[in-house]
Amino acid sequence: MIKNQHTQSPFDPITLEILWRRLVSIVDEADASVARTAFSSLLRDAHDYTCMFTDSRGQELVQGTFCTPGQAGAMAIGVRELIRSRPLSDYRPGDVFIINDPWALAGHLNDVCVWSPIFFREKVVAFTACVFHHADIGGRVASDNREVFEEGLFLPLVKLYDAGRLNEDLLDLIRWNVRTPEEVAGDIRSQVAANHVCGQKIVEMMEEEGLDNIDDLADEIIGRTEKSMRSAIARIPDGNYPYEGIIEGAGNRKDITIRMTVSVDGDDIVVDFDGTDDQVGWGVNVVYNFTYAYVFMAVKSAFDPDIPINEGAIRPVKMTAPEGSVVHCRFPAAVAARMQVGHFMTEMVFKALSAATPDNIIAGSGGTPAQTNIFYGKRHDGQPWHTMIIRGGGMGASSRADGHHCAIFPANGANTPVEIFESDTPLIVESRTLVEDSGGPGRMRGGIGRQMTIRVPDGDLAPLSPTSIAVQAGRYRYPPEGIFGGSPSQKARFLKNGKAADPSGLTFCKPGDVIAFYSAGGGGYGNPLERDPDAVAEDVKKGYVSIEAARKEYGAVIDPESLKADPAATAELRSVQTKG
């Protein structure tokens, strides 16, 4: 067993690795408890939550393996500041805090953080925290709200438990401000349980390993992580890499211009958003923490994907953004649909660095932004219901591989099974399929998009009118782009009864209405005429690419009977297309 010695490096490499793996397993065990105890399918099935813990100074040490980057990156900054907002002597065993202030943490009211001190031998040694995306936080559920006051219940930092005693008045306040109070209260209790699991296992580890504190171990892990991250950044050629991109305005709103410069100097990287558009009068504004989270996601995933994510990983990555801009908005801006802008930050950093590091980035993705749909209403007996799903799109291709299908990138969520959706709602899913020809053509093909058709049933069990649907998504106007000669994918579509519908506000449906969602595919990478004809033939066999698109986009001639490529005819056609 290790006795904590206050020397330069108190842990030998083998012991350090064992302790690190144990820390990860502890947070993952807390994470797994959520799947067993959460009420909402957005948590149980779509996994829209993040568990983590810090040392006694609030420095993030470990986060769950299946975390959501937007929450995790924002928590690394926000939880640290919350912990440091009061002296350690103020904390008591059994204290549990709750907050959903978008500017303090993950950027919108639905992301509720519950966090607690961990005591060992009557001393605070660490903190454990989790952020859950609550499908229901009250308010008007739409992306066209003008201020955060319209978007739901706003909880400042307050104690949920004071020295182990539940604040019943606070829980009642929450219950009376949401549509599905039992589900929301159950999910909050799931957060408390996850933190309890983490705290209990940390104490067990300290007892078994003879540790007096967590801070010495944290210093060792964080220091090594920072060294690795800096080494990865140092491999990027020094320079300033500007990029200007456009994000579509929903409905008839004007587009939003994002300007950034990625500056690499040795082992430091700075992303500056000077010149980016001001915050807007609808719900896509992004707080600083959430913007930073997806800037960090780009750097981390592209250049050092295998190291831990903790305080050491974020230290070399800096960001500046004008206060009052759409990526660093001021209170009380509307922020409910902040993913419609924030998720693009990863893609835009990739594009800025594409010329310098072409093998480390991917083309545009149809799951950027995450295709979020909120459904609510009343069943035939008047009972309220409310649910949320997150749909993926095709992932962008890279220099080495085709894009994944139906990926929620960069948000890292999961698709909710049809059976769960239909049990949560009175709605019926008529179909859910991949969309042929939706992936962007390229030497490496973009991932395939997905279609989902939902019917509001009529008859005796029809829900009471209206059934409300809020869409927080994108790619309706501009498809994910290809890169290095790759082509864009198909665009997203939102249909009501077969006609294009407006995704920017609430859509009201009556019994018998049919809603169809089409997510975009991913952009292609490289010249499509350089794709292996056998790979194109395999795509045709699997229904990813039609025979017509194989010929038009890839110059590949596929026999309609055998579904095999004709090498001679393909070479001749490609020669003609190249000259043309």
Residue of 304, 433, 413, 320 lying closest to 368 (CA atoms):
413
Structure tokens belonging to residue 234: 């140092």
CA quadruple 83, 88, 93, 94: dihedral positive or negative? negative
- At residue 558, the 3 state secondary structure works out as strand
Give me the pLDDT at residue 9, please: 64
The model's pLDDT over 206-263, given as tens digits with 9 standing for 90+, comes to 999 999 999 999 999 999 999 999 999 999 999 999 999 999 998 889 999 999 999 9
Cβ proximity of 239 and 266 under 8 Å: no
Provide CB contacts within 8 A for 504, sequence distance 6+: 143, 144, 250, 251, 252, 253, 282, 471
Give me the pLDDT at residue 412, please: 85
Cβ proximity of 51 and 90 under 8 Å: no
Burial classification of residue 431, based on how many CB atoms lie within 10 Å of its CB (0-12 exposed, 13-18 middle, 19 or more buried): exposed
Give me the pLDDT at residue 187, please: 97
For residues 192 and 165, what is the distance between their CA atoms, to the nearest angstrom?
13
Give me the pLDDT at residue 204, please: 97
Instruction: State the virtual CA torsion across 474, 479, 481, 487 in degrees, nearest 10.
Output: 160
- Phi, psi (rounded to 5 degrees) for 525: -125, 120
- At residue 412, the 3 state secondary structure works out as coil
Give me the pLDDT at residue 368, please: 95
Cβ proximity of 293 and 249 under 8 Å: no
Residues of the chain below pLDDT 70: 1-9
DSSP 188-228: HHHHHHHHHHHHHHHHHHHHHHT-S-SHHHHHHHHHHHHHH
Residue of 31, 30, 21 lying closest to 68 (CA atoms):
31
For residues 531 and 527, what is the distance between their CA atoms, to the nearest angstrom?
7
Which runs of consecutive H residues, i.e. helices, occur in 428-563?
Answer: 533-542, 547-554
Taking the domains of the chain in order of start, what are their residue ranges?
A: 13-227, 362-531
